[in-house]
Structure formats: C-alpha cells, structure tokens
Structure 1
Amino acid sequence: MKKMFSIIIIIILTTLSCGAPEDQEPQIKKEITDVPPHDMVFIPGGYFTMGSDTDDESPRHKVWVDPFFMDKFEVTNHQYKEFIEATGHPKPPFFNDSDLNKSDQPVVGVSYYDAASYAKWAGKRLPTEAEWERAARGGLKGKYFPWGDKPVASRCNYAPKGSKEADGYEYTAPVGKFPSNNYGLYDMAGNVWEWCQDFYDAEYYKISPVKNPLGPDSGYTRVLRGGSWLSINPKYLKCSSRLELKPFVQDRYYGFRCAKTP
C-alpha cells in the first residue's frame, strides 16, 4: 500500500511539473532571491527620478536601478566592534566617546576606506549614490524627504534651528528610533551622513547613464548622503542632497550602511 501511494505521488508531481507554465521556475527563483539577509531590506528595481533642480543635484534625470538589498539600519558600534575584533582594524576616533559609543548608536568617525573595509568583511558593499537615493525615497515620487515634502523633527535626528535636542537626542540616536520609510529603512535622513561608493562630480548628472550609474571613474572626493544629527538646515536631509568629502576624513557626523547584490 505504501509503495502504491509513493507511485501515485510521483505521478502527480511529474504531471504538475509537465503542465507548469514556462515562466514558473524563474518566478520561484525570483521569490527566493527577494528574501533579504538578516537586517537587510529588499529594494525593488525600477525607474525613478533622481536629483532636483538646485545646485549639484541638477538636473533631474531618470534612472534605472536593478534590485538590491540595503541595510535596514546604519552600521552600529556593536557591529563595528565585531569587525575590529575579527580583523584587527584600527578603532575610529570617538569610539571611546561616551556620547557616541553606545552599542546601538551608529558608528561614527569612519572614513570611506574604513566603511568599504567593513562592507567587504561583512560580504557586502557600499551602495551607489543612485541606489542610496532610490532606497531613501521609499517609492514616493517627487517628494523632498523620505516621508514627504516638509521637514519634521519627529521623523529624524537633526538639529532644527540649531537645537540639538529638539528631536530628543543631543548627539546620535540609537538606530531605528524614528519611523521608517515606505521600504522599511530607518534613519535615511539625519543621524549620520552615509558614505556611498561613488566618486563625486558636481556635473556628473548631466552625463549620467540611465541604467545603474556608478558615478565618475575617478576623483578626489567621495559622496555622502542623508544629513546628520548636527544638520541645522533641513535641505541636507533631502533624498537628493549630496555631500562631497575626501575619503580619508573621519569625524563625528559620518557613518554608513551597506548594500548587497542579490
């Protein structure tokens, strides 16, 4: 009886397999691919309008970004400590600063090179500038900030009107203390500026390719995005805001999060 039952099951599975549409297998593979690693979020591929009409954020231009994973949170002191202990990488400045070194606060004082080294160790990479902006927008079209068109102190950690405590935090906030955007990403505005992998060029948007732009081939500075806990002007919190910095600079306002290709 058991043998006959097994034969029936095999016949049923074979029949289902033969009758399945041609695109079923790729769809299954896609669903498996979409499952993000721990504490990462799947960012769907697609077109979006990148940039704004001001300064080095112009011109607005259409960009396609392939699907990717993005860290849900900025890399924390706890995570960075594990990296240091595993590799012997030097501690960043401020790592012993009691205002900035809680385990769930974002690591700061990291250079571009530090961030890239951590990402490689973690089996990830830094996001491109286009990926970062795609992720920050959270699927919202034409909005200035990850939540809408107006700066809101209760939505992120920054310093409105020079008051560092208006949002409840004088320095960096523990990651994830403010509402996420529509993709489930936290602190995409404020807390710390985040390193991207691109070289910086104020004119790059004028010649940027449409599909998966990687930034200039060379340069002296790298791009950071998102604003920080010390940003007084909310323009730095915009999804399109760009900051250039020499890649070896380490300061209290600069951190990062990682991306990963599925």
Structure 2
Amino acid sequence: MRALEKDPGRRYQSVADLAEDVRRHLALEPVTARRTGPVYRARKFVRRHRVGVATGAVVAVSLAAGLVGIVSGRIEAQRSAARAATEHALVVPLKAAQELKELQGDAESLWPVTPDLVAAYDTWLERAEALSASLEASAEDANVNEPGLRAQLLAIRERALPETPADSGIDPSHPEHDEWERSREEIELTQKWLEYVSAKAGDERDAKETEWAEQAEALLPELIARLDELEARVTRRVGYAFTREDDAVWHGILSGIVSDVEAFATNAGAMASLPQELGWGMARRREFAASIDVRTLTGSDARERWSDAVASIADRDKCPLYDELRLEPQLGLLPLGRDARSGLWEFWHVQSGSEPVPGPDGRLAIDDETGIVLVLIPGGTDVLGAQGEDPRQPNFDGEQAKSNEGPIHEVEVSPYFLGKYEVTQGQWLRFTGGNPSEGRPEREDPEGGPRSLAHPVENLRWETARDVMWQMGLSLPSEAQWEYGARAGTDTPWWTGVDKASMAGAANTRDEAYIRERKGSSWRAGDEGPSDGWAYSSPVGHYRANDFGLHDVIGNAYEWCLDVNDPMYYRRLNKQAEESGRPVLDPVTDAGLSIHVFRSGGFGLDPEDARSATRFEGGVGFRVIGLRAARAVQH
C-alpha cells in the first residue's frame, strides 16, 4: 500500500525500490513498505525456513525439557535430602521419648519387690543407662552417629532471638518443682476453704469450721512466703522465640524430650543408690529383690525365727486367740516375738526400715529409722458400728452415735496383719524420698517439744496412700479390719471405756494444750479430752496400746481405709448376712465412688469424734490424712 500513499514523501522513491520489495515478498523476507516488529520478522523467518525452524524447534524443546528435568530433579533431590536429614535428626529424640515412656510405665508396674522380678530389674537398668547416655552421645562414641540430645537442643537455641522478661517461667524439671506444686496447691485449697466458710452466714457455721478457718487464715502468710521462696528457685528461661517456624517447632519438640530425659536421668541416678539413701529406685529394688528371700525365709536366722513363730501360733495353750492357726513363713517379714501384754505375735516389715528393739521398759523403741511393725490379728466375728437407741444392745454410744455409724452389723474377719503403729514420717520418707507432712521435724510443737520422723505421716491423698502401700507389699485396711482391730473385742465407745476420762494416757485428741496453741479460736468448753501433752501429733506409740497391742487408734492422725463411703453399706451387710445365715466374711466396699473413708479422729478433734465407730469421708484430692498399714496373710 506504500505505492498509493497520499503523501509523496511516503511513496516509493523509485521503481527499483518497488521491485526490491516485490522480491522480498516473494522470498518471504520482511518488506520495507510496512513497519517491521519482532513478531512480523519472526513470522517471515519461519515461513522462509520451515524445515530448519521445525527441526530447531524440536531440538530446542528437547533441550528445554531436559533442562527442566535436570532442575526439577535437583530440587526434588534437595527436598528429599532435607526430608531425610530432618527424619534422621528426629530419630534419636523420638526414640528417646518412646523409650522414656516405656521405662516409666515399666517402673510403675515392677512392684511389689519380689525375687521373681530380678531379671526384669536388670533389663530395665540396662535400658535406663542407654537412655541417659543419649543425652551426651557424640559422633566419637562407639556405635553413635548422631549428636547427643543436649547438643542438638543447644544448636537450635543458638538461632533463638534474644531473651526477654516474658521468657522466664517455672522449670518443671527442677528438683524442687514438685514441692513448689504442692505448696501452690496447698495455698489454693486453703483459700478455697476460707471462701467456702466466709460465704456461710454466721449461724450456718459450726464451731469447728470457724476454728479451722481461723487457723487457715493465720497460716496463709507463712504458706505464701514459702511459695515465693520456692518459685524463685524453680524459675529459669523457658521461652525461646525464633524467626523460622521450623526452628520453633523443632525446639518445642526437642526441649520437651530433653527435659523429660534429664529429669529421668537425675531421678534414676539419685534413686539408684543402696538402702542408706532415700527412695526406691530400680537399682535398690534389684538389690533388695535378690536378697529378700535369704533375709526373711531361707537364711539361718530367718528359718529359726519362723520355726519358733509358726509353732507358737499353732499352739492353743500358748496362743489361744489364734485358734491353732497354721501360719506359713511370710516373704518380707521377720517375727519379732509375742507382745507380753496382748499375747499376739508381731513382725518386722524388713523393707520399711531398721529392726525395732525393746527399750528398757520392754516396749519396742520406735525412732526415726524404725521399720513398720505388724501385729498378726486373730480372725473372728464382731459387731461393728454404733447405735444410740438401746443400752442393752452392743455398741451403745448414746447421743454420740451418728447416723452414718449404723446400723450395727456383725462381720467375720480372717486373720490379717495390721500396723501396731501409724506409718511414720521416717518410714514414708525412706520409701518415697519425700515427706508431705505438715508436722515435719522442723516445726516444733510448742507443748510437746521437738518433733521427729517418728511422728505419723499425714497430708496424704487416698490414692497416694493406697499406691505406696501396694508398692511396699502392704495395703490400706478395710473399714472392717480397722474397727475390728481398734475395738480389740470391746463394745464401748472407746476401747478404753465409756467415758472420756478413761482415755487418759491412751489418746491424743483435742485437749488444753491444743486450745492454748490456738488462743482466741472458737471452742466449746467441756469438749476437750484428757491432757495428752501435745498440741499437734505425738510420736507413734507414745500412749498405751489396746488389747491387741495397737497404739493411737484414738486420735493422733486420721487414718485412711480402703473402702469408699457408701451410705447403704452397713444395711446391705445385714441383708447379706440375713440371706446367707452367717456374717459377711472380710467385707470391703468399692461402689465406684470417689469418696473414701478415714478413721481414728485426730489430735484436733473432740473425743466424741475419735470413737471406735466414728467414720469420716474425704474425696479425690483430700489430703490431710495419715494411714496404718495392713497386709493379707499369704498362703
């Protein structure tokens, strides 16, 4: 169209120019008559060189595809390598976490300590040693190709952002963390109790609630100060921030694993020592399991002791209460001899402490190191509970009898072992490594003087008391066993008699010493018992024993029983006895409830609340109670 342009200046300037454009067009080259862009020129080039361009295109596409394949392969290889590296880095920590979980589960199940568990203890110790070694493992160690857990964690923390005040927190792996937790819970429970009492109108509060609230309020500042001290010690840097999300995720996983393994390694090391140390770690269990058979059954001393005991117990003339009982030697126990007053045989629970020895007065001397003493209680039938209607019937407690103590019911009890004393703080401390008691030795009694580990352990949850007794090859007594032992054949409100004065020298209940220590507290005059000389708990065995040789079944520490609190329990026992024509044998109730029974009263309760039939109840988490050990006779 250039030849027809209106502007002469834009037309072909000569025939030669026109002829050149015609030639270009026929040759499929760009013509000068139009503006030539890259697309136009490329189109002409392709039309001019169809075969060459096609061949080149095939080659170019192949090269491009190959290049894409190479690049994609390299990217995928890099991703695979990264995944493999991550998976490889996870192997040691995740394996350690799984092994830790299994070791902890096995440790909880490898109880009670018996000779047949020696092989299991050996295997556990080998696995625990390998797990502890994984904390510091390095490439130089034999058969180890990964850095230790701590090294991996430190490498990640080097990439963390600078620490801020918000990064400080409670270290759950700190040795005092559990004590901090208990202290915090104690304050929460105290504050809840105060809120509960404060919410009641004045006429709705009974005297005991008011008094306990006053005591709790006075104690609260001391508890808070103690918590502050503990919190300062268990606080460290626990928060770490990262710019990369994968670092943050990996740090969270690894720090949790390292913390758990460190705590395990520390506890395993601390508790792996022999009997002079506290707590029963696996090494100590293994040592005891390997020796207990010889120490209590097959050794010459054990055989001689058991021979004398078995013969005496089976002799009706020597031990008429046992009714010719054929007792077999009991693993873990050693006979101590017959109590001169009760005539019943007593036994040393070897695992729980040193052997008790008689003092100058002939009574067993109980100190911080003494082990548990069990009395073999003869079997028989007895009427339990209390009633206030008919003085001609058994167990008449008059107006003191409460509705949850009836109806009275007859039961039959097989021979069993029951603690001569309440479990002491020393016995609990040696076995568990801790002492939860409020009345610890460092807290002096203002009336009775210095406290010791021979005082009863208390401040225990029911679940904890049950579990520790099981670990020791013992148990909590059933209600029937507890009351049968506490009564020792009597049917009066207290085994000492029908009035409070009879308890003098036999019980630690609320008395003038207790009242003086709580000046200004609410208290009904005339409710106190005979003076016992202690404002708080007294050492176990301090007062005289009942006819079975049991001490402190009136007051001192509350004592957990195995049973749940079932309001219809006693009625059902009577119905079962009526249907079968005989008393129920060894009754115990577990109706699926979470509220359990405790007995004995306590040093701060009136004597009427420490009768043989008195029953109390405590739910999950209720933790002001002690215990008395029991054990079934092994056949």
TM range (shorter): 0.7 to 0.9
Change beyond 3 A, Cα 1:74–1:124: same
Q: What is the correspondence of 1:3-18 to structure 2 with a 5 Å cutoff?
A: none
Map of 2:510 onto structure 1: 159
In the alignment, is residue 149 of structure 1 matched against residue 498 of structure 2?
yes
Map of 1:211 onto structure 2: 585
- Select the residue among 365, 380, 383 that pairs with 1:49: 383
Q: What is the correspondence of 1:4-83 to structure 2 with a 5 Å cutoff?
A: 29-30=326-327, 36-38=346-348, 39-53=373-387, 54-83=402-431
Map of 1:194 onto structure 2: 559
State the shift of 1:248 in Å: 1.9
Deviation string for 1:197-237 (max 9, x for gaps)? 000012210002422111242212000001000002x2211
Comparing both structures, which one devotes a greater share of its residues to strand? 1
In the alignment, is residue 226 of structure 1 matched against residue 570 of structure 2?
no
SS in 1 for 2:559: strand
- Select the residue among 136, 159, 173 that pairs with 2:486: 136
Map of 1:261 onto structure 2: 632
What is the rounded CA distance, in whole Å, between the counterparts of 1:167 and 1:115 in structure 2? 27
Is the 1:83–1:121 Cα contact (8 Å) retained in structure 2?
A: no
What is the rounded CA distance, in whole Å, between the counterparts of 1:192 and 1:246 in structure 2? 18
In the alignment, is residue 176 of structure 1 matched against residue 521 of structure 2?
no
State the shift of 1:95 in Å: 6.5
State the TM-score, normalized to the length of structure 1. Answer: 0.80
Map of 2:616 onto structure 1: 243
Change beyond 3 A, Cα 1:144–1:31: farther
Unaligned residue ranges in structure 1 (runs of 5+): 1-22
State the superposition RMSD in angstroms.
2.5
SS in 2 for 1:235: helix
SS in 1 for 2:546: coil
What is the rounded CA distance, in whole Å, between the counterparts of 1:202 and 1:219 in structure 2? 11
Is the 1:77–1:107 Cα contact (8 Å) retained in structure 2?
A: yes
SS in 2 for 1:79: helix
What is the rounded CA distance, in whole Å, between the counterparts of 1:189 and 1:28 in structure 2? 29
Map of 1:98 onto structure 2: 443
State the shift of 1:32 in Å: 5.7
State the shift of 1:30 in Å: 3.3
SS in 2 for 1:159: coil
The alignment of Structure 1 onto Structure 2 pairs a total of residues equal to: 231
Structure label with greater radius of gyration:
2
State the shift of 1:244 in Å: 0.5
Change beyond 3 A, Cα 1:224–1:79: same
What is the rounded CA distance, in whole Å, between the counterparts of 2:620 and 2:549 in structure 1? 29
What is the rounded CA distance, in whole Å, between the counterparts of 1:148 and 1:32 in structure 2? 36
What is the rounded CA distance, in whole Å, between the counterparts of 2:620 and 2:505 in structure 1? 31
Deviation string for 1:42-70 (max 9, x for gaps)? 11111100101241011011111111000
Deviation string for 1:53-105 (max 9, x for gaps)? 241011011111111000110000100101123xxxx6425275524862110
What is the rounded CA distance, in whole Å, between the counterparts of 2:415 and 2:601 in structure 1? 25
State the shift of 1:36 in Å: 4.4
What is the rounded CA distance, in whole Å, between the counterparts of 2:499 and 2:536 in structure 1? 22
State the TM-score, normalized to the length of structure 2. Answer: 0.34
The higher-RCO structure (CA 8 Å, 6+ apart) is: 1
SS in 2 for 1:78: helix
Aligned partner letter, 1:102: S
SS in 1 for 2:453: coil
Change beyond 3 A, Cα 1:259–1:164: farther
State the shift of 1:129 in Å: 0.3
- Select the residue among 107, 113, 126 that pairs with 2:476: 126
Identity %: 29
What is the rounded CA distance, in whole Å, between the counterparts of 1:77 and 1:219 in structure 2? 29
What is the rounded CA distance, in whole Å, between the counterparts of 2:629 and 2:406 in structure 1? 26
Map of 1:17 onto structure 2: none
Unaligned residue ranges in structure 2 (runs of 5+): 1-313, 316-322, 331-343, 349-372, 388-401, 446-450, 517-530, 577-583
| Structure 1 stretch displaced more, 94-103 or 193-202 | 94-103
SS in 2 for 1:154: coil
| Structure 1 stretch displaced more, 221-230 or 30-39 | 30-39
Change beyond 3 A, Cα 1:172–1:95: closer
SS in 1 for 2:505: helix
Comparing both structures, which one devotes a greater share of its residues to helix? 2
What is the rounded CA distance, in whole Å, between the counterparts of 2:515 and 2:600 in structure 1? 17
